[in-house]
Amino acid sequence: MRNALVSSWLGREIDPLPTDDGSDPVGQDLVRRYLAAYGPAATADVRAWSGLAGLPGAVAALRGELITFRDQRGRELLDLPDAPRPTPGTPAPVRFLPAFDKAEIPREQSLVPHQATLALKST
């Protein structure tokens, strides 16, 4: 096994780690990108999607540039101010379970051949 710097693989220097003040610029970018794709969303949704528990500093640093809503359960939802939003009363689209939200692969393509045969015969 040979070790190499990440920058040599990427061809550029890597983004800085979170700052001492806890603002986490990389985490802020991640939150912005998530909200651009899936917002409005609760911070728990961002954590579940990313698998990162250390995003509160990034969210706190972004609060001044985000707008907030409340869902039917009273949870705070965050969104980008210029994001498109449906009119009130528009039904929410069907979502996959969180673990499969990013994967829209037909079931038989996601299994190895012998598993697909077993799964399709048993249904």
As given in the structure block, the two tokens for residue 108 are 């038989």
The 10s digit of each residue's pLDDT in 30-49 is: 999 999 988 889 999 898 88
Do 27 and 55 touch, CB atoms closer than 8 A?
yes
- Give mean pLDDT, residues 46-53: 86
The 10s digit of each residue's pLDDT in 12-33 is: 887 766 666 666 778 899 999 9
Q: Residue 76 pLDDT > 90, yes or no?
A: yes
Q: Residue 62 pLDDT > 80, yes or no?
A: yes
Do 78 and 113 touch, CB atoms closer than 8 A?
no
- Give mean pLDDT, residues 53-76: 89
Burial class (CB in 10 A: 0-12, 13-18, 19+), 35: buried
37 or 101, which is more confident? 37
Its pTM stands at 0.61
